[in-house]
């Protein structure tokens, strides 16, 4: 006890500086999470406040473990994230390499590249909902005007087309984060190793594969880490585009949570699901953060 | 193929990709100036026949056909909530970032990790307990309640970015300033802060954009014109039986324009911020 | 008047004691150099004088004023950092004038003082450049200029030359010496380079593991090192040290060679006592190549392993008592490896140290 007090006194300045950040996070994030952890063990329903005290142990978790719809949504979320993150990374890499190559008008291109970053996810969702609409959407209109199809294509209704559509929206929204960070990496890249490799007889592809790419890896992982911090932004996109529908065909973990909590008013069960979604986010972040640390250590030898 | 033709081809490919990136946004902006009738016509009218500001007038309650959605109030709420929470997140982030950059204290590494981890909680997962607790506390549907939440979700990122920038400033500079006659407080504002400014600015932009664009929490924590923000308000359009596409497009333009202006104004800082604070940290 | 005095100054980092109660009195206008191996607490001591580190125990006073609890800005000191710590967002003029501006001096006063300093240090043509646009030596000069504009009571230098290349270092060393003559001030200067210490100091303070080992003028510490640590730290090449045993008022080395006990050694020696015999290369010379004569000497036949001609003298590497040692040859002639030379060792100027404590046995 005395030791703690002495420690507090010795480090009073940094602790005081840190206090506001810690307090607000405790208040707005940790405290609610503790509360929701508790409710995930109750039969809490929004419309019946007295159910808050109905302790049902692990039943919510057992329920969702045995719930086929939950597992489908979970699997779809993981698939969605894997596809989206990888494509974003590849497209971002390609885009950065292209922009890095051009000299005339590079500044303007760079600015345009950042354009989607300013879009609210909900706007992105709305934008693609509007474009993929089967009666008035510009995509269908264009296909019909060009005579490629006579029927309207149900982009947001068909199971796989809808999945494809929300992936497009997500990728459009987030590719620029990768492109910007990788471009920054390309700018920071020292010339010497590239020149040395050329002298050693590497061709363009070998230079890219053995020099440029390893140097870019930390930047790629930084982008991955930043992205996985808010993978759940996809909720906004999907919520406005399809709302998880039709008939649960684009249901992701997050839309399922929202429906369970607010439409079915089963707070307890929704909170149990929410914990699964938190773990998912932490897993993705932790995974890429570890990769980042490894890549940095590796690069130290450069 | 000569190097020159290759360069030209690459330029056009890049230009084409940029066009694809821009088209969806441009399409929305164009639609915002077209009447609903024209948008809904089949077969599609490709060349806009009559462009006007009618949709904007309508959502702001002026002109003939009035939309029953109080976009004016939403805009005001968004502005108040975003600027206040950004300001708070910056102040708290500077204080916390400085502590991490300049001081050694027990549990430093894990404190940093936990602060960052708090950011991974998905908005929708956080909204459930917050909804209940904020209702009990009477914070539901108040700007203050939303400001508090947005500040908290922005703090991890501002702390991280700003910490990276302060760490780049050698601590001897502050010591030299103190020997030159400054108090620690003066040394901070005259030496360390100016050198870390672009980090603070970029942290501010990110915080502002996050708050301005946030939807998952706002859609649950706000109800009425008292606190509803633009992104949450956009869904008002779909709640009705027919979707007012033109109105939504106009509102989308209203949401995007401040973000665009802000980002272009401070573009330089933004890139510096992302690369310095993030990558070298 | 600005004497600096340290009384029983102690510094702990957590539970780690890095400065163990040191005492030091620095006179007004004196140039004192703290020297010692890396990690011995030189910077820590200097930073305590500056007020950048808390003093765990003891008392520091500047000009008869106890400064323990004064912040750096109230101590009227200035400091030159190893990495210069110039403010990157200010040009040279602003860097130089910053402290005066903070003190609320008038524009005229600041201009005058800044121009003065710039003239003394030859910075006039760089005034509008930022630190990034200066060379290492120029930055170094700006850092010194920033220190002198305020006419502080005490100058503190923390290894100011260690980031410069060898030639520039020698040149700046001279400039610092000149600066001290021009702007008479008390200076405390930290370095781990004994040559710098010898050339600059009025008095040298040799530190080791948080203790002061010896304080004295450069000549004193060179000629009368209090222990083997000082003997091997000061002077280049370092002093030759050979272990031996006292036997019949002689020192017997491990290979049976005996050397006379240097005069002025206390007579508390007992047979069988372990000692260390020490002498510098300058006092072991081949016969016929010696400089000064006189005093008691001993002749030794030495096999030369290696010779390093330096022009005006040659360093000879050889072995005595199984230990590698160095000798010097003035007015040199070519020496072959394996050649046996008769050398003369000045017993007068040799040292004897206690093998157990390393302390000198001279009285
Ligand atoms: N902030 C600190 N926390 C803990 N220990 C420290 C701290 N600063 C210095 N030390 C320790 O104190 C001792 C003395 O450090 P100091 O910097 O004074 O050495 P120095 O003599 O200046 O060495 P150098 O010549 O390498 O600069 C060292 O052992 C060092 O490890
Ligand atoms: Mg040091």
- Are C78 and C70 contacting, i.e. CB atoms less than 8 angstroms apart? no
User: In this model, does residue B43 exceed pLDDT 80?
Assistant: no
Give dist(CA A194, CA A212) in Å, integer: 8
- Using DSSP bridges, classify how beta strands C240-247 and C250-253 pair: parallel, antiparallel or unpaired: antiparallel
- Are C19 and C7 contacting, i.e. CB atoms less than 8 angstroms apart? no
Q: Of A191-195, B169-173, C64-68, which range is least confident?
A: A191-195
Any B CB within 8 A of C287 CB? no
The residue among B48, B95, B128 with the most chain A CBs within 10 A of its CB, best to mutate, is: B128
By alpha-carbon position, which residue is closest to atom 1 of ligand 1?
Answer: C13
From the list B11, B125, B159, the residue facing A274 with the nearest CB is: B125
**What's the gap in Å between C3 CA and the centre of ligand 1?**
25
Q: Of A106-110, B119-123, C201-205, which range is least confident?
A: A106-110
pLDDT of residue B198: 81
Q: What is the mean pLDDT of residues A140-158?
A: 78
How far apart are the CA of B110 and the nearest CA of chain C, in angstroms? 20
pLDDT tens for residues C241-253? 999 998 888 888 8
Q: For A73-126, give the DSSP string.
A: HHHHHHHHHHHHHHHHHHHHHHHHHHHHH--TTHHHHHHHHHGGGGS-HHHHHH
pTM score of the predicted model: 0.83
User: In this model, does residue A214 exceed pLDDT 50?
Assistant: yes
Q: What is the mean pLDDT of residues C23-45?
A: 93
CA B202 to chain centre: 11
Residue ranges with strand state E in C86-193: 154-158, 186-191
How far apart are the CA of B190 and the nearest CA of chain C, in angstroms? 10
By alpha-carbon position, which residue is closest to atom 19 of ligand 1?
Answer: C39
Percent of chain A with pLDDT over 90: 14
- Are A122 and A236 contacting, i.e. CB atoms less than 8 angstroms apart? yes
- Residue C190 alpha carbon, nearest atom of ligand 1: 22
Q: Predicted confidence band at C208 (pLDDT cuts at 50, 70, 90)?
A: very high
- Are C124 and C103 contacting, i.e. CB atoms less than 8 angstroms apart? no
Q: What is the mean pLDDT of residues A267-276?
A: 87
Tell me how crowded residue A285 is: count the other CB atoms within 10 A of its CB: 22
The DSSP call for residue C304 is: -
Contacting partners of chain B (3+ CB pairs under 8 A): A, C
Of the candidate CATH numbers 1.10.3720.10, 3.40.50.720, 1.20.58.760, 3.40.50.1100, the domain formed by A68-301 belongs to 1.10.3720.10
Give dist(CA A277, CA A224) in Å, integer: 18
Partner-chain contact C79 B176, CB within 8 Å: yes
Q: Could you state, in order of their start, the residue ranges of all structural domains in chain A?
A: 68-301
pLDDT tens for residues B203-262? 898 899 889 999 989 988 998 888 899 998 888 777 655 677 888 888 888 888 888 888
pLDDT tens for residues B85-136? 999 999 999 999 999 999 988 888 888 888 888 888 888 888 888 988 998 8
Partner-chain contact A14 B111, CB within 8 Å: no
Any B CB within 8 A of A97 CB? no
How far apart are the CA of B106 and the nearest CA of chain A, in angstroms? 9
By CA distance, what is B252's nearest residue in A? A123
Strands across the sheet with C211-216, in order? Answer: C77-80, C154-158, C186-191, C31-35, C203-208, C211-216
Tell me how crowded residue A11 is: count the other CB atoms within 10 A of its CB: 18
User: In this model, does residue B263 exceed pLDDT 90?
Assistant: no
**What's the gap in Å between C12 CA and the centre of ligand 2?**
16
Tell me how crowded residue B181 is: count the other CB atoms within 10 A of its CB: 22
By CA distance, what is B8's nearest residue in A? A102
Q: What is the ipTM of this complex?
A: 0.85
> Which residues in chain A are closer than 8 Å to B124, comparing Cβ atoms?
232, 235, 254, 257-258, 274, 277
**What's the gap in Å between C36 CA and the centre of ligand 1?**
12
From the list C87, C89, C102, the residue facing B181 with the nearest CB is: C102
pLDDT tens for residues C68-91? 999 999 899 999 998 889 998 899
Q: Which residues pair with C299 in a beta bridge?
A: C344
Q: Which residue has the tokens 């230079």?
A: A207
pLDDT of residue C157: 93
pLDDT tens for residues B156-193? 989 988 888 888 888 899 999 999 999 999 999 999 99
Residue, of A222 and C155, whose pLDDT is higher: C155
Listed by number, the residues of chain A in 134-173 with a beta carbon closer than 8 Å to a beta carbon of chain B are: 135-136, 138, 141, 144-145, 172
By alpha-carbon position, which residue is closest to atom 14 of ligand 1?
Answer: C41
10 Å CB burial of residue A258 (0-12, 13-18, 19+) is: buried
Any B CB within 8 A of A226 CB? yes
Q: What is the mean pLDDT of residues A263-292?
A: 85
Report the first-to-last Cα separation within chain A, whole angstroms.
47
Tell me how crowded residue A2 is: count the other CB atoms within 10 A of its CB: 6
User: In this model, does residue C198 exceed pLDDT 80?
Assistant: yes
How far apart are the CA of C71 and the nearest CA of chain B, in angstroms? 8
pLDDT of residue C292: 64
pLDDT of residue A300: 55
Partner-chain contact B179 C72, CB within 8 Å: yes
pLDDT of residue C23: 94
Ligand 1 pocket mutation, candidates C15, C44, C206, C233, criterion most atoms within 8 A of CB: C44
Pocket-forming residues, ligand 1, beta carbon under 6 Å: C 13, 16, 18, 36, 38-44, 192
Ligand at shortest distance from the CA of C158: 2
Percent of chain A with pLDDT over 70: 98
Listed by number, the residues of chain B in 206-265 with a beta carbon closer than 8 Å to a beta carbon of chain A are: 209, 212-216, 219-220, 231, 234-235, 238, 245, 248-249, 252, 255-256, 259-260, 263-264
Report the first-to-last Cα separation within chain C, whole angstroms.
36
By alpha-carbon position, which residue is closest to atom 20 of ligand 1?
Answer: C39
**What's the gap in Å between C99 CA and the centre of ligand 1?**
28
pLDDT of residue B277: 44
pLDDT tens for residues C311-344? 888 999 998 888 889 999 888 888 888 888 888 8
Q: For A216-246, give the DSSP string.
A: HHHHHHHHHHHHHHTGGGHHHHHHHHTTT-S
CA B67 to chain centre: 26
Any B CB within 8 A of C188 CB? no
How far apart are the CA of C85 and the nearest CA of chain B, in angstroms? 5
pLDDT of residue B128: 86
Give dist(CA A89, CA A104) in Å, integer: 25
Ligand 1 pocket mutation, candidates C43, C161, C194, C209, criterion most atoms within 8 A of CB: C43
- Residue C46 alpha carbon, nearest atom of ligand 1: 18
User: In this model, does residue A158 exceed pLDDT 50?
Assistant: yes
Q: 3-class secondary structure for A20-35?
A: HHHHHHHHHHHHHHHH
pLDDT of residue B155: 95
**What's the gap in Å between C153 CA and the centre of ligand 1?**
26
The residue among B104, B105, B181, B191 with the most chain C CBs within 10 A of its CB, best to mutate, is: B181
Residue, of B281 and C54, whose pLDDT is higher: C54
User: In this model, does residue A52 exceed pLDDT 70?
Assistant: yes
By alpha-carbon position, which residue is closest to atom 12 of ligand 1?
Answer: C18
Any C CB within 8 A of B191 CB? yes
What domains appear along chain C, each with residue ranges and CATH number?
Answer: 4-233 (3.40.50.300), 240-354 (2.40.50.140)
Q: For chain B, give the DSSP string.
A: --HHHHHHHHHHHHHHHHHHHHHHHHHHHHHHTS-HHHHH-SSPP-S-S---SHHHHHHTT-SSS--S--HHHHHHHHHHHHHHHHHHHHHHHHHHHHHHHH---TTHHHHHHHHHHGGGS-HHHHHHHHHHHHHHHT-TT-HHHHHHHHHHHHHHHHHHHHHHHHHHS-HHHHHHHHHTT--HHHHIIIIIHHHHHHHHHHHHHHHHHHHHH--HHHHHH--STTT--HHHHHHHHHHSSS--HHHHHHHHHHHHHHHHHHHHHTHHHHHHHIIIIIII-
Report helix, strand or coil for C330.
strand
Give dist(CA B102, CA C323) in Å, integer: 49
Residue, of C255 and B78, whose pLDDT is higher: B78
10 Å CB burial of residue B44 (0-12, 13-18, 19+) is: middle
Indicate the average pLDDT of chain C.
89
pLDDT of residue B20: 86
The DSSP call for residue C278 is: E
pLDDT of residue C363: 66
Longest dimension (CA), chain B: 77
Ligand at shortest distance from the CA of C81: 2
How far apart are the CA of C88 and the nearest CA of chain B, in angstroms? 8
- Residue C210 alpha carbon, nearest atom of ligand 1: 14
Any B CB within 8 A of A7 CB? yes
Contact residues for C131 (Cβ-Cβ < 8 A; gap 6+) = C84, C86, C87, C88, C92, C95, C139, C142
From the list A13, A24, A229, the residue facing B120 with the nearest CB is: A229
The DSSP call for residue C272 is: T
> Which residues in chain B are closer than 8 Å to A21, comparing Cβ atoms?
92-93, 95-96, 115, 155, 159
Any A CB within 8 A of B183 CB? no
**What's the gap in Å between C142 CA and the centre of ligand 1?**
26
Give dist(CA C75, CA B194) in Å, integer: 26
Q: Which residues have beta carbons under 5 A from ligand 2 (an ion)?
A: C 43
What domains appear along chain B, each with residue ranges and CATH number?
Answer: 3-58 (no CATH), 71-278 (1.10.3720.10)
pLDDT of residue A302: 39
Residue, of B63 and A237, whose pLDDT is higher: A237
pLDDT of residue B278: 43
Q: Which helix (H) or strand (E) holds A65?
A: helix A59-65
pLDDT of residue C79: 92
Q: Which helix (H) or strand (E) holds A274?
A: helix A267-299
By CA distance, what is C47's nearest residue in B? B175
């Amino acid at each position: 006890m005395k030791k703690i007090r002495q420690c507090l006194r010795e480090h009073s300045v940094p602790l005081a500086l840190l206090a506001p950040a810690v307090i607000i996070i405790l208040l707005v994030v940790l405290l609610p999470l503790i509360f929701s952890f508790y409710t995930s063990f109750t039969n809490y329903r929004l419309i019946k406040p007295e159910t808050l005290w109905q302790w049902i142990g692990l039943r919510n978790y057992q329920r969702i473990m045995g719930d086929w719809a939950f597992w489908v949504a979970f699997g779809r979320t993981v698939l969605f994230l894997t596809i989206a993150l990888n494509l974003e990374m590849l497209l971002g890499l390609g885009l950065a390499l292209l922009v890095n190559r051009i000299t005339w008008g590079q500044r303007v291109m760079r600015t345009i590249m950042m354009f989607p970053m300013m879009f609210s996810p909900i706007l992105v969702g709305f934008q693609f909902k509007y474009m993929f609409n089967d009666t008035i959407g510009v995509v269908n209109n264009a296909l019909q005007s060009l005579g490629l199809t006579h029927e309207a294509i149900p982009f947001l209704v068909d199971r796989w087309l809808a999945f494809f559509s929300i992936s497009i929206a997500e990728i459009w929204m987030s590719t620029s984060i990768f492109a910007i960070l990788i471009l920054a990496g390309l700018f920071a890249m020292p010339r010497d190793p590239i020149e040395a490799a050329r002298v050693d007889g590497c061709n363009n592809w070998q230079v890219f594969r053995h020099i440029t790419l390893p140097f870019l890896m930390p930047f790629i992982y930084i982008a991955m880490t930043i992205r996985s911090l808010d993978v759940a932004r996809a909720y906004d996109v999907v919520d406005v585009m399809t709302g998880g529908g039709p008939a649960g065909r684009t249901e992701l973990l997050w839309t399922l949570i929202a429906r369970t909590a607010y439409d079915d008013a089963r707070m307890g069960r929704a909170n149990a699901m929410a914990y699964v979604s938190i773990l998912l986010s932490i897993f993705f972040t932790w995974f890429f953060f570890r990769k980042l640390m490894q890549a940095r250590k590796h690069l130290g030898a450069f | 193929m000569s190097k020159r033709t290759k360069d030209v081809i690459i330029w056009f490919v890049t230009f084409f990709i940029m066009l694809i990136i821009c088209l969806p946004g441009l399409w929305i902006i164009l639609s915002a100036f077209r009447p609903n009738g024209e948008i809904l016509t089949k077969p599609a009218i490709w060349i806009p026949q009559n462009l006007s500001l009618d949709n904007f007038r309508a959502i702001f309650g002026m002109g003939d056909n009035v939309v029953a959605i109080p976009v004016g109030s939403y805009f005001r709420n968004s502005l108040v909530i975003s600027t206040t929470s950004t300001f708070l997140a910056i102040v708290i982030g500077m204080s916390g970032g400085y502590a991490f950059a300049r001081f050694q204290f027990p549990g430093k590494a894990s404190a940093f990790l936990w602060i960052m981890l708090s950011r991974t909680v998905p908005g929708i997962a956080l909204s459930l307990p917050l909804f209940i607790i904020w209702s009990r506390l009477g914070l539901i549907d108040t700007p203050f309640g939303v400001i508090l939440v947005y500040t908290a979700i922005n703090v991890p990122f501002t702390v991280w970015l700003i910490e990276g920038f302060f760490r780049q400033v050698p601590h001897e500079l502050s010591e030299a300033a103190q020997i030159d006659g400054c108090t620690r407080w003066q040394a901070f504002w005259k030496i360390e802060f100016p050198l870390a400014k672009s980090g603070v600015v970029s942290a501010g932009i990110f915080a502002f954009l996050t708050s301005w664009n946030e939807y998952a929490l706002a859609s649950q924590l706000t109800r009425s014109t008292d606190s509803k923000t633009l992104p949450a308000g956009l869904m008002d359009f779909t709640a009705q039986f027919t979707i007012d596409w033109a109105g939504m497009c106009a509102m989308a333009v209203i949401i995007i324009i401040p973000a665009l202006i802000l980002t272009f104004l401070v573009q330089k800082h933004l890139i510096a911020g992302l690369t310095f604070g993030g990558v070298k940290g | 008047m600005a004497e600096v005095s340290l009384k029983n100054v102690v510094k702990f980092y957590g539970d780690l004691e890095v400065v163990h109660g040191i005492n030091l009195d620095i006179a007004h206008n004196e140039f004192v150099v703290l020297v010692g191996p890396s990690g011995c607490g030189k910077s820590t001591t200097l930073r305590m004088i500056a007020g950048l580190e808390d003093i765990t125990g003891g008392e520091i006073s500047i000009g008869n004023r106890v400064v323990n609890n004064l912040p750096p800005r109230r101590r009227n000191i200035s400091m030159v950092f190893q990495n210069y710590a110039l403010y990157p967002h200010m040009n040279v003029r602003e860097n130089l004038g910053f402290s005066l501006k903070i003190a609320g001096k008038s524009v005229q006063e600041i201009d005058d003082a800044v121009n003065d300093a710039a003239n003394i240090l030859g910075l006039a043509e760089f005034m509008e450049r930022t630190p990034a646009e200066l060379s290492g030596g120029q930055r170094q000069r700006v850092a010194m200029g920033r220190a002198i504009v305020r006419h502080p009571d005490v100058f503190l230098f923390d290894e100011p030359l260690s980031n410069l290349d060898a030639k520039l270092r020698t040149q700046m060393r001279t400039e610092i010496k000149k600066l001290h003559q021009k702007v008479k001030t008390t200076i405390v200067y930290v370095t781990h380079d004994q040559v710098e210490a010898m050339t600059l100091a009025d008095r040298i303070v040799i530190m080791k593991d948080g203790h002061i080992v010896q304080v004295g003028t450069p000549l004193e510490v060179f000629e009368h090192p209090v222990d083997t640590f000082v003997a091997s730290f000061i002077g280049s090449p370092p002093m030759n040290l050979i272990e031996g045993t006292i036997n019949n008022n002689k020192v017997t080395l491990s290979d049976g060679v005996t050397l006379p006990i240097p005069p002025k050694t206390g007579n508390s020696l007992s047979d069988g006592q372990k000692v260390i015999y020490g002498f510098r290369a300058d006092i072991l010379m081949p016969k016929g190549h010696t400089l000064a004569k006189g005093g008691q000497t001993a002749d030794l036949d030495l096999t030369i392993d290696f010779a390093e001609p330096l022009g005006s003298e040659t360093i000879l590497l050889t072995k005595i008592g199984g230990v590698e040692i160095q000798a010097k040859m003035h007015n040199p002639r070519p020496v072959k490896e394996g050649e046996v030379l008769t050398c003369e060792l000045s017993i007068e100027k040799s040292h004897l140290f206690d093998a157990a404590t390393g302390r000198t046995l001279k009285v």
